[in-house]
Every structure is written in structure tokens, then in C-alpha cells.
Chains A and B, each alone.
Chain A
Amino acid sequence: MDDIESRIIELVAKTKGVPASNVGIDSTFEELQIDSLDKINLSFAVEEMFKIEIPDESLNSLKTVGDVVRGVESLLAAAPPDTATS
């Protein structure tokens, strides 16, 4: 498991108050009972952790933990090096 994936899984687990072992890359928001407010809170935490900004249109399409991981990887790859470090 890479660093981004493990950190996001930790965040998701913390957001929902469940053990990290219950969260996987394929876990869906529906399974984890992540509602719209949880999603806003989670995104805020992810933005803070990785110093990125998740656009509204991307936020709406997030359905799984894997979506978040891939989204973060993509935003970090697109960002200048000085803002891509966490």
C-alpha cells in the first residue's frame, strides 16, 4: 500500500470513527455511510493534508476511497513541486 493510499484510508477511518482495517481502496462511500456532509469534511481534510484544492466538479464524482486516492495522485502530479509536498 503506498503512502497516499494509507494516509487517505486513515483519514476516512477517522472521519467515520471506524478501524482503518475496515476501510479498503475499493470501499464505497455508500458502504461506509459517507454522506454529503462527511464528503465535504473528508475533502477538506484531504486538501489540508496534501495542500491541494479539489474542484467542485471532481468532488461530486467521488464514490469510492479509490476515487479519492486517484484524484489526489492526479492533482499532485499536476501541481508545481513546491505546492505538491505535504
Chain B
Amino acid sequence: MKRVVVTGLGCITPIGNTVAAFRESLYAGRTGIAVFDPNMPGAIPLEKPMRFTTTAKVKGFNPTLNPDQRLTSGVIVCADSSAQFGIVSARHAAAESGLLACYDPAQIAIVTGCACGGRAADEDANRNLYLHNARVPPTAILRTMASSGSSFIAIEMGISGSVLNISTACASGTHAIGLAFQMVRAGIAPAAITGGYEAALTFGFLRAWDSMRVVSPTSCRPFAADRDGMTLGEGAAMLVLEPLEDAQRRGARIYAEVVGFGMSADAHHITQPRAEGAALAMRRALDDAVHAGIPAPAGRVGYINAHGTGTPTNDAVEAAAIHQSLGEFAPHIPVGATKSLTGHSIGASGAIEALATVLALDACSLPPTAGVGQIDPALSLDVIIGESRPLAPDKDLALSNSLAFGGLNAVLAFRRFAT
């Protein structure tokens, strides 16, 4: 078993389109959640407004004009925004790590998470077809494929190894990184580009979530006493993973070590989460850390980047899972929720939160959860609010949780890397 480290990062998010900008917003508690323009493509006047008015949208992404986001017209016409976010994020991560110069492109893996595919392209084509009997563009299929982002990353970089996309709703990005970690650890792939992308903030998508009554009429406030729902978002994040010894040999910048991955299914209900399932995934991620030479990991967890959607049910169940899996340590572990800044970007959220977790370990500084006035005392969690906090010197592990609809849970365990 190889030890696996993170050597490259990239992102397109509502709080920054570079890792530097994302980091700055993350620690400043600068949220990307804002009132959205209801006059979005295809929107029709509503008799009654939706229950919510805010989303977290990516701003300033222009692959035609911005040099560091440049995509050819051929790619733009065939790739929906979700894939475009993924391609550019992967490019940034790969460029930073320099992995293409060090590993055989025929062996490198690309494992991504995207749950909704090209939702905007799908709605456009179907709306015009059903309402106007319009012809469906020949690019419609390509733009709606959830896997098109991973394909375009492979095409752009000439990578011909194992390339795949995972769709497990809100856990897609975390499942993707976990699988890539297992592949690199086992030597199946010498290195991997992995993460998630999603851009589904369409009129139909928002209306569908509105009907589920789980979106906050104000703003996502995870673990707050007055939390009232999630906020939808979009974006992408990518990580480069490679073996520790190879990274050290070539002098790569190492952000953190991936030490564990745990998966589970609640096997219970399509929407109601169950604490036992999430706790099982957390325990499995910690048990997995034994392979990285960490015999008693629970006492070394100094940060949990929670799934933290801000719905009353999710946060209560996740808190129960944290207590079930970490026992006596649970009330004292700092917990944060990046969705308070980025919103919930479904298939990309786990990757964006893994990015936040890696940056936190790298800086030994834990970013605050935004928008929370009073923490829900019933949860008995040490939620980070207000200011960032230092990582305790005797703690070097962090967990990143993703708990998806359908009861699919995925948890990554990272370790601070000290040279």
C-alpha cells in the first residue's frame, strides 16, 4: 500500500475561481450566497413566487475571454457549464502539480463526480422541442452527459488511463476522490486527477427543489439554532493525488495526505437520513487510516468538514453520527460547514469541501462557518463560527463528510503533512 498525498488543487466556485481566491473567501467568511435573478433562461412568470430567493452562483467565469479559463469554441459548444467548470479546475490542479511531466499519461486516472449532468442543456433542448417543435441540436446529447467533463479533461491532457465519472447525488465528489485514492494507494494508477463538477441552477431544477421544501428562504446556516434549510450552489474542485514517495522524489508541493476513505449506505429511505449509516462511513474512514500507520485515529481528529446542509434534519442526524462514531471526542472536535459560503453544489460539493479541508490542514487553520448566530445547543458540537481557529497542535487528522439523498455516505480522512 502506498501513502497518497495531494499535490495539486484547482477550483471554480461561488467564492473564488482560483484556489487563492477561494482560500481568501473561505477564511474571511465571505459568502457566495446571493439573491438570484428570477429571469433565468426559460423562466416563466409564477403565480406565486418560490419559497427561496438565494443561490450560490459562480461569478466571473468566461472561457472565451479569461486566459486562465480559456476553452476552444469547439469545447464550449459541446460542453455544458458543469463540464466547463470541471475542465478548467482540472487544468489548474494539473498545472500546479506538474504531474503530466512526471507520470505516463497512458496510466494516469481521472475520477470525477457529477450527479446532474448538463441540466441546462437538457432543459433548453426539451423546452424548445416540446413548446416550439424545434429541432434538437446535435450537441444536446454531448452537453447533457454527466461524464463529459471527465472525457474533456482526458482529451485536453492526452490522458488515456482509467477515466470515469461517479453519480451518487450529493456524495459524488467525495466518492470520486475516495475511489481515486484507493486506486493510487493500490498502485492501480500512478497518479490521479479527481474531484467534482456541477452547474444545475436552472429554472426547472430550482422549482423541483422548491417543491421539496428543504431550501432556506433566507440562507444556509448549518448547525444554527434557527437553521431553516439548504441553499443551492454550483462549481467544481479538483485534486491531484500521487504516492508520497514519488511526490517527495520530484520535489512536489504537498498539501496534505489522504489517509482514509469510508463508504456506507443507510439502506433505509430515499430522503430520510439515518445516523447509523453516516456513522458507519465515518468509522470506516478512520479504520482505513490504519493502513497509513495511524493506529488510534479518533483521538487525533482535529477538524470535521461536515456535510452541513443547514436543513433541520440533516444537521441533527449528522451531529448524531459524529457522536456515534467519535464518542467521547465528539463534543470537542471543531466542526465547520463550507456550504454556508458555497451553497450546496450537489455532485461537486464533496470535492469543494475536500479542497477546504486540505487547505485547512495545510494552513493549520480552521475556517469559520458563516451566518450562524447561535449554535443549536441540542447538537452538542463545537461549531466554528466568527473567526477561524488554529488546528490543535496534537491533532493532525480531518474528516470531510458527504451524506447524499438515498442514504449514500462517503467520508474522506486527511492528515496534515509535516515535512
CB distance from B49 to the nearest CB of A (A): 11
Is B135 at the interface (CB under 8 A from chain A)? no
CB contacts (< 8 Å) of B212 on chain A: these are: 40
Main secondary structure of the interface of A (DSSP, over half): helix
Query: Which chain B residues in 271-318 approach chain A with CB under 8 Å?
Result: 271-272, 313
Query: How many residues in A have their beta carbons less than 8 Å from beta carbons of B?
Result: 8
Q: CB < 8 Å: which of A36, A44, A53, A56 contacts B271?
A: A36
Bound Cα distance A37, B212 (Å): 8
- Write the nearest CB–CB distance from A12 to chain B, whole angstroms: 19
Q: A36-B272, A37-B271, A37-B272 are in contact. Are A53 and B48 (CB under 8 A)?
A: yes
Main DSSP-derived SS at the B contact region: loop
* Contacts between chains A and B (CB distance < 8 A), count: 17
Q: How far is the CA of A44 from the CA of B271 in the complex (A)?
A: 16
CB distance from B411 to the nearest CB of A (A): 25
- Pick from A35, A36, A40, A56: contact of B211, CB below 8 A: A40
Question: Range of interface residues on chain B?
Answer: 10 to 19
Q: Which 5 A-B pairs have the closest CB atoms?
A: A37-B271, A44-B211, A56-B213, A53-B48, A40-B213
Contact present for A35 and B269 (CB under 8 Å):
yes
Across the interface, name the chain A residue whose C-beta is closest to B214. Answer: A40
Residues of A near any B CB (own CB < 8 A): 35-37, 40, 44, 53, 56, 59
Which residues does chain A contribute within 8 Å of B272, judged by CB atoms?
A: 35-37
Q: How far is the CA of A37 from the CA of B270 in the complex (A)?
A: 9
Shortest Cβ distance from residue B219 to the other chain A in the assembled complex, whole angstroms = 16
Of the A-B pairs whose beta carbons lie under 8 Å apart in the complex, a sample of 17, sorted by A's number, is A35-B269, A35-B272, A36-B271, A36-B272, A36-B313, A37-B269, A37-B270, A37-B271, A37-B272, A40-B211, A40-B212, A40-B213, A44-B211, A53-B48, A56-B51, A56-B213, A59-B213
